[in-house]
Structure 1
Amino acid sequence: MTSDKDNTYSALVAEESDGTFIQKIQQRALSDLPDNDVLIKVHYSSLNYKDALSASGNKSVTKNYPFTPGVDASGVVEESRDDRFTKGDEVIVTSYDLGMNTPGGFGQFISVPGDWIVPLPSGLSLKESMMIGTSGLTAAIGVEKIVKQAVGTADGELVVTGATGAVGSFAVGLLSQLGFRVTAATGKMDQKDFLKKLGAEKIIHRNDITDVASKPLLASRWIAALDTVGGDMLDAVIRQTAHNGVVTCCGNVLGHELHTNVFPFILRGISLMGIDSGIALMSDRLRVWNLLAKQWKPEFMEGIYREISLLQLPAEIQKILNGQQVGKILVSLPD
């Protein structure tokens, strides 16, 4: 599908040069986009860890290059062969294959199947939706799982690991906004003020969780957890969760394997629940996006995001690869 109005558009393109992957702003032809049902003019995107992997040549994320990453996009429908959408509709697209093997939100246009599209909920602007983005949606799905397990604000502390990252910081802010007592675990202790502004009651070093005895069960420290890093951290969190507690998890920065034991589950009744926003059911997406537009609309976003242009993206991609990202990066696309 191509547009009659424009033949080319600006996009950040990752490509290999002398054995190294670089990112440049290039002009791309609309005719090169996949022939999907809906063409969208992108207004905003956001930077996620998966985008940084795609931009740096990780073949487990993106198979063919040159390529435009960006798993998030919000914008306006330009053309549609799908009866559910008409020109001018404001929409959100996150994950599925966007920015992985389908050219993503770091370009002014995307072409996607209608089944990937969420109509922008009333109560959110296009900019606000990408201030939330995949990371906020992921965090909110995890928070909803905790709430649905009947964990109440008076039941005890909650811990969020990787608390300064995009998912973790949003989780700290949202849980605090909902009235929970949040302990934020991070390796960036110089970001205490940032986490306190989000509402964290306590800030602890991540080693305070993992540098513990190897016993099958440890003293109970929290009633629920949202873990964003996986590996040994997730095991340690599970072993320190209280009776009938719930642990939600979504990351694997510390490893994709989980070495733990059954005692937290059979002696304390702990629930371990995965968070997947990548191929989440559309019914779940619509429900959580509507929560974020209304009852759970974030009141803390001004302190969590920075707005950048396409030209500034390469430097931010390097930061996230180096583990230096704090909060959320909002990407504003040129008109």
Structure 2
Amino acid sequence: MNNQSTFKAFRVEEKDGNYSSTIKEMPFNTLAQGQILIKVHYSSLNYKDALSASGNKGVTRNYPHTPGIDAVGTIVSSESNKFKVQDKVIVTSYDLGMNTDGGFGQYIQVPEDWAVKLPENLSMKEAMIIGTAGLTAGISVLRLSETVKPDDGPIVVSGATGGVGSLSIAILKKIGYKIAAITGKETERDFLIKIGADEVILRPDFEEPEKRPLLKPAFAGAIDTVGGVILENIIKSISPMGVVTCCGNVASPKLDLTVFPFILRGISLIGIDSQNYPMNYREKVWEKLSNDWKTATLTETCTEITLDQLDEKIDLMLKGKLKGRTVVKMDI
């Protein structure tokens, strides 16, 4: 395996209801059971990681804990018939970083069913720029594009500067769609145009509650990452036979709607669950993300940090002040 007795990990601890984090040396026998032991080269910061790091019991029940729902690295020990030592693999979703110690540690041990081989056309860093956010974006685009084609009209993307939103925009642009981006960050208009948005809509102009059951059709489809009133107004503004995917609830998990958009315009609302997405579809999406959907602006959505910078970035994420993707280099 290796000659080390410990490895570094970003460890979150609880004391009297307060949560704090430090970089600790962890013994290997603290790792979860699993068929493959992986040396992590990169991880990435996701909203679930920020919640886990701040003591959200809906994400992580027990502490101390190592967050990190994304990891990519090299297998150093394998009891699997599917993977061998030196294979490069991606692990995203499932229970990684939630109640199983995650990618903010230099090593993880996981079941073989959680891993996907790193596609040949992706570097490890690129895989983590994509990560769970990109997988979620990819699944959303796949489900949307099964029905809505580029010629049908523009696609609106909410939470546009976030990980899922920004990667969705880049993928949609790559395959020929026109995109309207909804954001609360007026200062990021140039960033959104650069990654592929054709129009930028400021959130205050779109999040006022609207009592009318239907609004004038403006979009052929949508990828929503925030929920709440914005999702309500998106659904009301979709053209007949349009498709809306939803994957987040940072604004609100509640919707105040009538059935009219669905029965009068034939709109479909598709929930996206990347955490437990079936492996055969997961592999298909990763293959697309590494080939047809790989974008020239991929690295432009990314900031690279080290473990000791995580606290600062987690704080910014919880305040809604991060843009794009934050990748954590673990080789320190």
What band does the TM-score fall into relative to the shorter chain? over 0.9
How far did residue 18 of structure 1 move? 5.5
* Conservation of the 8 A alpha-carbon contact between 2:37 and 2:107: yes
The residue aligned with 1:312 is: 309
Q: Distance in 2 between matches of 1:196 and 1:7?
A: 48
* Conservation of the 8 A alpha-carbon contact between 2:43 and 2:103: yes
The residue aligned with 2:24 is: 26
**More deviation, 10-19/111-120:** 10-19
**More deviation, 256-265/244-253:** 256-265
1:101/1:212 Cα in 2 relative to 1: closer, same or farther (>3 Å)?
closer
SS at match of 1:210: coil
Q: Distance in 2 between matches of 1:35 and 1:237?
A: 44
The residue aligned with 1:119 is: 117
Which residue type is aligned with residue 102 of structure 2?
G
Aligned partner of 1:279 among 260, 276, 280? 276
SS at match of 1:118: strand
State the number of aligned residues: 332
Which residue type is aligned with residue 186 of structure 1?
T
Matches within 5 A, 1:12-23: 12-17=10-15, 19-23=17-21
The residue aligned with 1:289 is: 286
Aligned partner of 1:57 among 41, 55, 58? 55
SS at match of 1:232: helix
How far did residue 21 of structure 1 move? 1.2
Q: Distance in 1 between matches of 2:251 and 2:210?
A: 19
Q: Distance in 2 between matches of 1:21 and 1:28?
A: 19
Structure 2 residues without counterparts, runs of 5 or longer: none
Aligned partner of 2:159 among 162, 165, 168? 162
Aligned partner of 1:229 among 226, 230, 241? 226
SS at match of 2:150: coil
Matched, 1:66 2:60: no
The residue aligned with 1:141 is: 139
- After superposition, the CA RMSD in angstroms is 1.1
Kindly provide the CA deviation profile for residues 82-102 of structure 1, in whole angstroms up to 9, marking residues without a partner as x: 111111000000010000011
* Conservation of the 8 A alpha-carbon contact between 1:7 and 1:31: no
- Find runs of 4+ consecutive structure 1 residues off by over 3 angstroms: none
* Conservation of the 8 A alpha-carbon contact between 2:209 and 2:229: no
* Conservation of the 8 A alpha-carbon contact between 1:197 and 1:303: no
Which residue type is aligned with residue 116 of structure 1?
W
The residue aligned with 1:92 is: 90
How far did residue 35 of structure 1 move? 2.0
Which residue type is aligned with residue 219 of structure 1?
K
Which residue type is aligned with residue 224 of structure 1?
G
Structure 1 residues without counterparts, runs of 5 or longer: none
Given the two structures, how large is their TM-score scaled by the length of structure 2? 0.98
Percent identical among aligned pairs is 49
Q: Distance in 2 between matches of 1:245 and 1:86?
A: 44
Matched, 1:175 2:175: no
Q: Distance in 2 between matches of 1:125 and 1:159?
A: 30
SS at match of 2:210: coil
Q: Distance in 2 between matches of 1:298 and 1:114?
A: 29
SS at match of 2:85: coil
SS at match of 2:251: coil
Matched, 1:40 2:47: no
* Conservation of the 8 A alpha-carbon contact between 1:16 and 1:66: yes
Which residue type is aligned with residue 128 of structure 1?
E
Kindly provide the CA deviation profile for residues 263-319 of structure 1, in whole angstroms up to 9, marking residues without a partner as x: 111111111111111010001110000001111112211211000000100100101
How far did residue 213 of structure 1 move? 3.3
Q: Distance in 2 between matches of 1:91 and 1:112?
A: 11
Q: Distance in 2 between matches of 1:35 and 1:156?
A: 49
SS at match of 1:53: helix
1:212/1:66 Cα in 2 relative to 1: closer, same or farther (>3 Å)?
closer
Aligned partner of 1:204 among 201, 205, 229? 201
Matched, 1:327 2:324: yes
Q: Distance in 2 between matches of 1:270 and 1:59?
A: 35
**More deviation, 313-322/291-300:** 291-300
Q: Distance in 2 between matches of 1:259 and 1:212?
A: 9
How far did residue 17 of structure 1 move? 4.3
Which residue type is aligned with residue 13 of structure 2?
E
How far did residue 60 of structure 1 move? 0.9
Aligned partner of 1:189 among 186, 190, 199? 186
SS at match of 1:244: strand
Q: Distance in 1 between matches of 2:78 and 2:295?
A: 31
* Conservation of the 8 A alpha-carbon contact between 2:129 and 2:299: no
Kindly provide the CA deviation profile for residues 147-204 of structure 1, in whole angstroms up to 9, marking residues without a partner as x: 111x221211110001011111111111112111100001111110110111111001
